[in-house]
C-alpha cells in the first residue's frame, strides 16, 4: 500500500504504524507529532495502518490531538496516585476542555499538599518514558482482570457495556486501565503538566452514589504554553465573580437558598442598567415587551412537550387538586399570548420580548455562583412569522445580537446545532428549519461550526460563544427556529388567500440569562465596569470637614445630571479614602479640599491612575455624561 506524507510517497506493508512511516518519510514529524490522520481519520501514532493514502502529522494545535495528550496525562496521574496510594480505586479519567481529571475512591480525602507529591511521582513516570501499550480482552477475562486488581468501578463499567464482547485496555509500566483510547505512544510526550485543584464528585454524577475524590489537572506540549495558561488561571481566580460579587457588595448565594441569588442594592443597579439597555435596543428594533405567569398548568407543559422531555428539571406543585409547574422556559406562555387573537399575514412578523423568571432543578454539584443557578431571568424573545420572513428575521436577530455584544466588547464564535436523537416533529420539518438558519448565516457570510445533534428537542439553533478578556469562551445567546410548537399549539394566521396558515416561530436570547451574563461581565471586566455600567460612577472624597458643604453641593449637581455618586465625609486620611475607592473599583474619585471648595473645582483621579486638578463642575459633568452616553469601554482622558 502507498502512503504519502507532505508529498513524499513510499510503499509499506499493511500494519505499519504512523511512527514507522514518519521515520521513513518525515523524521521531524516523528519527533514532534503527537497523533496523525490517515485519509482524514484520527489515529494514534502506534496503531497499525491497513490502508494506503495521505498521512498527516498532528501537533498540539489540533483539538483532537490536545485531548489525546491530556487523556494520556490523566493516565499518568492515575498511575502516580496508585503508586502513592495503593488502596485507591479507579473510577474515570477523561480529558476535558483545557485539561483533564480523574476520580478516585480513597480512604481519606486528598489534601492540597498531596498534589505536589502526585506531581513529583508523575514527573518520575514521564522521565522513564513508559510505553502506552493497548491490548484487548474478552469480556469475562476483562472482568476477571479488574476484579484481580480490586477495581470495582471498572467492573461496573464493563457490566454496563453488554454489547461489547471485547474490551480495550492500556498498560503503562505496572499500571493497567480499562480505556477506549487513544493515547500517546509513551509518557515522555507529556512534557508540561500541572495539577490544579481538588473536588468531590458523585460516582456517575448521581447524588445517590458514593462521593469520590476528583483531581483536576492540565497538560501542554511545552512549558511556555503551560505557564501562559497558569497565568490565565491565576487571573481568572482574581476575577472570580463569586468573590468579587461579595467584595463589591453586588450579590451572593446563601446557604438558605442554594442556587437562588440574592442581589444587593449595587447589584440591582447593575442589573437594572442591563435591563434598561435591553429594553431600549429592543424597542428600536420593533419588539414589544410581554410578561407571562411563573406558574402554569401541567396541561400546558404536556402540550409543549416539556412534561415528557424536561420533567426531571421542573419544580411542580398542586393547586385546587390540579398539577402545575413553575416554568423552566418562557415559550409556552408566549405562545398563549400569541393565540389571544386572530392574526393576518399583514400583522406578521410579531416580535415579543420577555425578561422572564424561570426555575430549573439543577443538581447541587452543578451549581456555580451565577453561572449555574436554579432560578434566573432569560432575556427571551419569540418571533412569529410567515415562511417568507424566516431568513430576514434570523438576519435581524443576528445583527441585534452583534450590536449588543459589540457594546460590551465581546468577540464571539457561532455554532449551528442540528437535530438531536431525542426530538419532536418530523425530519422534514427539521430539514426545512435547519436550512433556514444555515441560509441566513451564509448570506451574512458568518463562519460557523457545525454541531451535529445538539439542537433543542423542538428545533435547530444558532449559538453564540462569547470570548472574554482573558480568552475564555461562554455560551450565551441562541437563535432557535421552531416549526413544531406552532403545530402542537395550532397557531394560525390568515394568509393573502384568505386561508389559515401555520406561522414559523423563532426563540432567541442574547444575554442568555441575566444572572449568567452578569457573572460573565464581572469576570470580563474584573469588576472594573465601564462607566455606564458601574453601580457607583463617582465617589466624592473630602480632605477636611471644611470641604463638606462643597462636596454636598457637587453631589446634588451630579445626581441632577443622572450620575450615580457616593460621598465620603469620614475623618480619615485622603490616601485611605482613595485606596478604599480603588478597591471598590470606583471609576472616578473626586477629591475636594479647602482650595477646591473655595474655587468651585475638583481634583480627579481615575482607575487608570491618571489625575488632574482644578476641574470645574461643568466640565466634570459634561465629560462624565459624554462617556456614559457613548457607552465607552475605556475611561476618558479628557478633562481639560
Res. 342: pLDDT tops 80: yes
C-alpha distances in Å from residue 76, one per residue of 73, 123, 380, 446? 5, 9, 46, 41
CATH architecture of the domain with residue range 64-223: 2-Layer Sandwich (3.30)
Largest Cα span, the chain:
93
Q: What is the Cα–Cα distance from 85 to 272, expressed in whole angstroms?
A: 53
Helices marked H in 248-375: 265-284, 298-304, 306-309, 331-338
**CATH label, 251-292+328-516, candidates 1.10.10.10, 3.40.1280.10, 2.30.40.10, 3.30.930.10:** 3.30.930.10
Mean pLDDT of 451-455: 85
pLDDT for 45-86, tens place per residue? 888 999 988 989 988 888 888 999 999 999 999 999 999 999
501: left (phi over 0), alpha (psi -120 to 50) or beta: beta
Amino acid 345: pLDDT: 97
In what side-by-side order are the strands of the sheet with 588-592?
565-568, 538-542, 588-592, 601-606, 611-616
- Give me the pLDDT at residue 268, please: 98
Which residues is 296 bridged to in the sheet? 325
Q: How far apart are CA 611 and CA 613, in angstroms?
A: 7
Task: Return the active site residues.
Answer: 331, 360, 378, 380, 382, 461, 507
The string of pLDDT tens digits covering residues 86-128 is 999 999 999 998 899 999 999 999 999 999 999 999 999 999 9
Is 538-630 in the same CATH topology as 2-59?
A: no
Residue 622 CB partners (closer than 8 Å, separation 6+) = none
Instruction: Tell me the torsion sign for CA atoms 478, 481, 486, 492.
Output: positive
Q: Closest Cα partner for 465 from 527, 516, 392, 534?
A: 516
Cell of residue 260, nine digits: 437562588
Domain boundaries, the chain: 2-59, 64-223, 251-292+328-516, 538-630
Please state the rounded mean pLDDT for residues 412-433.
Answer: 86
Task: Provide the CA 75 distance to its chain's centre, in angstroms.
Answer: 27
SS3 content of the chain, % helix, strand, coil (to 5): 40, 30, 30
Closest CA to 203 of 246, 249, 156, 139: 156
The alpha helices in 409-543, defined as continuous H runs, are 427-444, 485-488, 514-525
Residue 638 has pLDDT above 70, yes or no: no
Q: How confident is the model at residue 640 (pLDDT cuts 50, 70, 90)?
A: low
Cα–Cα distance for residue pair 593/622, rounded to 1 Å: 22
Question: Parallel, antiparallel, or unpaired for β 588-592 and 375-385?
Answer: unpaired
Chain position carrying cell 402554569: 296
If one compares 454 and 101, the residue with the highest pLDDT of the two is 101
The cell numbers describing 384, all together, are 412569529
pLDDT tens for each residue of 180-205: 888 998 898 898 999 999 999 889 88
Query: Given this model, what pLDDT does residue 47 score?
Result: 87
Mean pLDDT, the chain, as a whole number? 92
Question: Mean pLDDT, to the nearest integer, of 472-500?
Answer: 92
Q: How far apart are CA 215 and CA 78, in angstroms?
A: 10
Report pLDDT for 363.
86
Output the pLDDT for position 256: 95
Taken in order 410, 416, 419, 424, is the CA torsion positive or negative?
positive
Q: Is residue 608's pLDDT more than 90?
A: no
Determine the 3-state secondary structure of 471 from DSSP. coil
User: SS3 letters for 516-569?
Assistant: HHHHHHHHHHCCCCCCCCCCCCEEEEECCHHHHHHHHHHHHHHHHCCCCEEEEC
CB atoms within 10 A of CB 167: 22
> Per residue in 327-339, pLDDT tens?
999 999 999 999 9
pLDDT number for residue 587: 96
Write out the DSSP string of 576-598: HHHHHHHHTT-SEEEEE-HHHHH
- C-beta separation of 516 from 460 below 8 A: no
Distance from chain centroid for Cα 318: 35
pLDDT digits (tens, 9 = 90+) for 278-328: 999 999 999 999 999 999 999 999 999 899 888 999 999 999 999 999 999
Phi, psi at 34, each rounded to 5°: -115, -5
What is the fold of 538-630?
Rossmann fold (3.40.50)
Query: Cβ(537)–Cβ(567) under 8 Å?
Result: no
How many Å apart are CA 455 and CA 416, to the nearest integer?
8
pLDDT in tens, 222-273: 899 999 989 988 888 899 999 999 999 999 999 999 999 999 999 999 999 9
Other Cβ atoms less than 10 A from the Cβ of 625: the count is: 15
- What pLDDT digit, counting tens, does each position of 500-546 carry? 999 999 999 999 999 999 999 999 999 999 999 999 999 999 999 99
Q: How far apart are the first and last CA of the chain?
A: 77
CATH of domain 2-59: 3.10.20.30
Nearest CA to 534 among 275, 243, 273, 236?
Answer: 273
Residue 458 DSSP label: T
* Confidence label for 639 from pLDDT (cuts 50, 70 and 90): low
Q: How far is the C-alpha of 170 from the C-alpha of 139, rounded, in Å?
A: 15
Amino acid at each position: 500500500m502507498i502512503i504519502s506524507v507532505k508529498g513524499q510517497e513510499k510503499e509499506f506493508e499493511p500494519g505499519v504504524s504512523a511512527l514507522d512511516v514518519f521515520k521513513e518519510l518525515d523524521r521531524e514529524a516523528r519527533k514532534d507529532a503527537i497523533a496523525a490522520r490517515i485519509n482524514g481519520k484520527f489515529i494514534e501514532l502506534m496503531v497499525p495502518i491497513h490502508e494506503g493514502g495521505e498521512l498527516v502529522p498532528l501537533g498540539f494545535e489540533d483539538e483532537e490531538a490536545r485531548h489525546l495528550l491530556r487523556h494520556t496525562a490523566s493516565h499518568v496521574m492515575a498511575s502516580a496516585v496508585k503508586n502513592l496510594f495503593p488502596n485507591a480505586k479507579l473510577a474515570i479519567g477523561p480529558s476535558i476542555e483545557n485539561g483533564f481529571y480523574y476520580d478516585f475512591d480513597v480512604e481519606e480525602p486528598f489534601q492540597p499538599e498531596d498534589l505536589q507529591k502526585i506531581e513529583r511521582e508523575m514527573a518520575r513516570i514521564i522521565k522513564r518514558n513508559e510505553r502506552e501499550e493497548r491490548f484487548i480482552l474478552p469480556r469475562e477475562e476483562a472482568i476477571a482482570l479488574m476484579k484481580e486488581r480490586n477495581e470495582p468501578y471498572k467492573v461496573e463499567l464493563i457490566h454496563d457495556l453488554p454489547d461489547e464482547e471485547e474490551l480495550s485496555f492500556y498498560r503503562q509500566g505496572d499500571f493497567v486501565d480499562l480505556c477506549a483510547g487513544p493515547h500517546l505512544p509513551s509518557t515522555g510526550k507529556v512534557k508540561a503538566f500541572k495539577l490544579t485543584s481538588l473536588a468531590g464528585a458523585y460516582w456517575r454524577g448521581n447524588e445517590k452514589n458514593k462521593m469520590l475524590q476528583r483531581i483536576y489537572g492540565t497538560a501542554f506540549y511545552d512549558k511556555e504554553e503551560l505557564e501562559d495558561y497558569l497565568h490565565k488561571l491565576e487571573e481568572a481566580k482574581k476575577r472570580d465573580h463569586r468573590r468579587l460579587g461579595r467584595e463589591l457588595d453586588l450579590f451572593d448565594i446563601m446557604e438558605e437558598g442554594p442556587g437562588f441569588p440574592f442581589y444587593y442594592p449595587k447589584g440591582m443597579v447593575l442589573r437594572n442598567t442591563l435591563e434598561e439597555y435591553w429594553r431600549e435596543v429592543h424597542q428600536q428594533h420593533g419588539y414589544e415587551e410581554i410578561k407571562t405567569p411563573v406558574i402554569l398548568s401541567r396541561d400546558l407543559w404536556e402540550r409543549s412537550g416539556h412534561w415528557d422531555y424536561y420533567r426531571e428539571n421542573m419544580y411542580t406543585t398542586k393547586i385546587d387538586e390540579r398539577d402545575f409547574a413553575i416554568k423552566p422556559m418562557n415559550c409556552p406562555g408566549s405562545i398563549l399570548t400569541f393565540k389571544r387573537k386572530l392574526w393576518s399575514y399583514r400583522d406578521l412578523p410579531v416580535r415579543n420580548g420577555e425578561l422572564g423568571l424561570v426555575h430549573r432543578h439543577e443538581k447541587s454539584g452543578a451549581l456555580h455562583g451565577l453561572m449555574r443557578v436554579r432560578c434566573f431571568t432569560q432575556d427571551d424573545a419569540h418571533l412569529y412569522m410567515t415562511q417568507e420572513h424566516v431568513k430576514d428575521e434570523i438576519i435581524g436577530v443576528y445583527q441585534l445580537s452583534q450590536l449588543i455584544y459589540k457594546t460590551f466588547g465581546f468577540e464571539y464564535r457561532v455554532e449551528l446545532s442540528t437535530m438531536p436523537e431525542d426530538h419532536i416533529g418530523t425530519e422534514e420539518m427539521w430539514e426545512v428549519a435547519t436550512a433556514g438558519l444555515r441560509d441566513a448565516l451564509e448570506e451574512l457570510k458568518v463562519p460557523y461550526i457545525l454541531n451535529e445533534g445538539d439542537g433543542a428537542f423542538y428545533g435547530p439553533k444558532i449559538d453564540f460563544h462569547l470570548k472574554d478578556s482573558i480568552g475564555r469562551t461562554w455560551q450565551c445567546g441562541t437563535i432557535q427556529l421552531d416549526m413544531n410548537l406552532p403545530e402542537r399549539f395550532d397557531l394560525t394566521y390568515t394568509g393573502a388567500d384568505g386561508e389559515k396558515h401555520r406561522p414559523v416561530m423563532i426563540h432567541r436570547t442574547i444575554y442568555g440569562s441575566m444572572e449568567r451574563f452578569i457573572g460573565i461581565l464581572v469576570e470580563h471586566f474584573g469588576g472594573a465596569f465601564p462607566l455606564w455600567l458601574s453601580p457607583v460612577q463617582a465617589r466624592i472624597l473630602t480632605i477636611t470637614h471644611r470641604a463638606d458643604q462643597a462636596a454636598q453641593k457637587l453631589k446634588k449637581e451630579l445626581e441632577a445630571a443622572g450620575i450615580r455618586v457616593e460621598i465620603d465625609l469620614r475623618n480619615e486620611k485622603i490616601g485611605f479614602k482613595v485606596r478604599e475607592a480603588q478597591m471598590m473599583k470606583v471609576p472616578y474619585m473626586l477629591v475636594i479640599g479647602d482650595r477646591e471648595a473655595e474655587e468651585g473645582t475638583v481634583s480627579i483621579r481615575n482607575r487608570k491612575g491618571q489625575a488632574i486638578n482644578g476641574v470645574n463642575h461643568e466640565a466634570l459633568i459634561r465629560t462624565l455624561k459624554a462617556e456614559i452616553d457613548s457607552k465607552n469601554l475605556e475611561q476618558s482622558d479628557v478633562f481639560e
